[in-house]
Amino acid sequence: MKYKNIVVAGAGVLGSQIAFQAAYCNFNVTVLVREADNKEEIKNRFKKLLDTYLDTIEIMDTKVGKSKDVWALGIAPIDNFDKKECIEKANRAYENIKIETDQSIALSDADLVIESITEDIKVKNSFYDQIAPLMPEKTVIVTNSSTLLPSKMAKATGREDKFLALHFANSIWKNNVAEIMGHSKTDEKYFGELESFAKAINMIPLVAREEKSGYLLNSMLVPFLLSAMDLLANGISDVETIDKAWTLGTGAPHGPFQIIDVVGLETAKYIVLQYQKVPDIFDPLLKKMMLPYNYDGMLEILNKKLEEGKKGKAVGEGFYKY
């Protein structure tokens, strides 16, 4: 099936980026949000994305913008760049994205639903229970979860064969990868359909054939971020110094706490909570050997930041001010 109508559930950091990128690539996009969500705030989030795309396009039109480290492949391939066309596509994406609170209206003709809500399995399954009877037979549903296994949520969707994970990296216009992971009851043909969709929105599809918490990217990223937070929680060093240790020692452009600010501290909290529970299946000695992280200390730091409204770069402050 060729997808045309895309519904993105959730307008957080990644949800808004996914929606904008799909609209930029000429898909019909509806963003499904809660009644309690502030529509004006969400619209402003898309305006910021528009500005980011336009600024990036301007940079891509310069000599420095042609370098591999700067070029945004989600916007255009380096050998087929038309500045005017890219600007038109970005403006059209902003104008055409629909924001809807009524689930039945949003889902009435959906080809693909991309769920990008809170990283909490109970919240996700409750959401799937609500939308299951509202989706047409044709609708394929994917989760943008960064850690949760599809098999733990598939039954709630009411269409286990049409359910997979489709996880995007942050700054989707530049970090243009899409991880695809199914579960034992996923129909094989949907892997192909999602690979085609990923390519249609200028992503590089990365397929995981077996379920793995953390998928590909986060299986490597999460231990890195946990290690950094553990250093802070145990008083080994401060945020800036830990980040410098990484950036100066490896040449990486961003340190772990800068990455956490971009991902969002709420997401970081849910990841900590999930990984805190994982070792419970092991005996105490093995648990201590495998994951000697100070989870309680991490949660104390994150909870304090969140209580202060410091949710990350999207709101102007997390571990750093922006």
Give residue-wise pLDDT tens across range 185-237: 999 999 999 999 999 999 999 999 899 888 898 888 988 999 999 999 999 99
For 142-192, the pLDDT digits (tens) are: 999 978 899 999 999 999 999 999 999 989 999 999 999 999 999 999 999
Domain endpoint, select from 208, 236, 259: 208
Same domain, 24 and 171: yes
Same domain, 173 and 310: no
Torsion of CA 47, 51, 53, 57, to 10 degrees: 150
Q: Is the pLDDT of residue 3 over 70?
A: yes
By residue range, what is the domain housing residue 268?
A: 218-315
**Which of helix, strand or coil describes residue 291?**
coil
What percentage of the chain carries pLDDT values higher than 90? 80
Residue 213 lies in a domain: no
pLDDT of residue 319: 98
Same domain, 242 and 188: no
Q: Domain with 160 in it: what CATH number?
A: 3.40.50.720
β-bridge mates for residue 31, sequence order: 8, 99
Same domain, 70 and 179: yes
**Which of helix, strand or coil describes residue 180?**
strand
For 304-320, the pLDDT digits (tens) are: 999 999 999 989 999 99
For 14-44, the pLDDT digits (tens) are: 999 999 999 999 999 999 999 888 889 999 9
- What is the total count of domains within the chain? 2
Same domain, 10 and 147: yes
In this prediction the pTM is: 0.80
Domain endpoint, select from 208, 238, 265: 208
Residue 238 lies in a domain: yes
Tell me how crowded residue 262 is: count the other CB atoms within 10 A of its CB.
17
Whole-angstrom Cα distance, residue 152 to residue 130?
17
Same domain, 226 and 294: yes
Same domain, 198 and 222: no
> What would the 3-class secondary structure string for 209-249 be?
CCCCCCCCHHHHHHHHHHHHHHHHHCCCCCHHHHHHHHHHH
The answer to whether 200 touches 171, Cβ cutoff 8 Å, is: no
**HSE (side-chain half, CA atoms, 13 Å) at 54:** 13
For 246-272, the pLDDT digits (tens) are: 999 999 999 999 999 998 999 899 888
The answer to whether 166 touches 198, Cβ cutoff 8 Å, is: yes
Same domain, 10 and 157: yes
pLDDT of residue 278: 57
